[in-house]
Amino acid sequence: MAGNHIHETLLDRNVLAYRYCIPMDEYHRAITTAEERFFSECDTNNVPVIAVFTKFDALSSVALGQLRKIVPSLTRKDLFERAPKRVEEIFTNAKIWGRLCETRHPPKDYVRLASRLTHPFHLYGV
């Protein structure tokens, strides 16, 4: 028993942060029950949790599609210049980060990760 306690104490000292991954390829979904329970019920004993929004580049194609519908006359260049701002609007309007911050044990911060090596807007020289 004492050995387990020592191992747990050493492990706790070595953990700098936990990461909780949330895929953005289904950004329109509400926060899942599992995510809500984790941030409402799981106390990580002062170890910060970082929310990792994975597949963030999936919002790029959503933004492009929305812009095409809103302003069908946009040139390809204009479309790709406006898309990053639209991605930010989509992320903000989804309110996922805001809802996580309202939980009992909110994440300390977040990062965004794309699923591709190259940002899709750069593929078109924009």
> What are the pLDDT tens digits along the chain (126 aa)?
444 443 444 455 666 889 999 999 887 776 888 998 999 999 988 889 999 999 888 899 899 999 999 999 999 999 989 999 999 999 999 899 999 999 999 999 999 988 755 455 544 444
The pLDDT, as a whole number, for residue 77 is: 92
**With contact defined as beta carbons under 8 Å apart, do 35 and 96 qualify?**
no
Q: How many CB atoms lie within 10 A of CB 49?
A: 20
Rounded Cα–Cα distance for residues 80 and 97 (Å): 25
CB 60 within 8 A of CB 83: yes
Q: Tell me the pTM.
A: 0.74
Phi, psi angle pair for 110, to nearest 5°: -145, 160
Question: Distance between terminal CA atoms of the chain?
Answer: 60
51 near 105, Cβ under 8 Å?
Answer: no
Token reading at 72: 């069908």
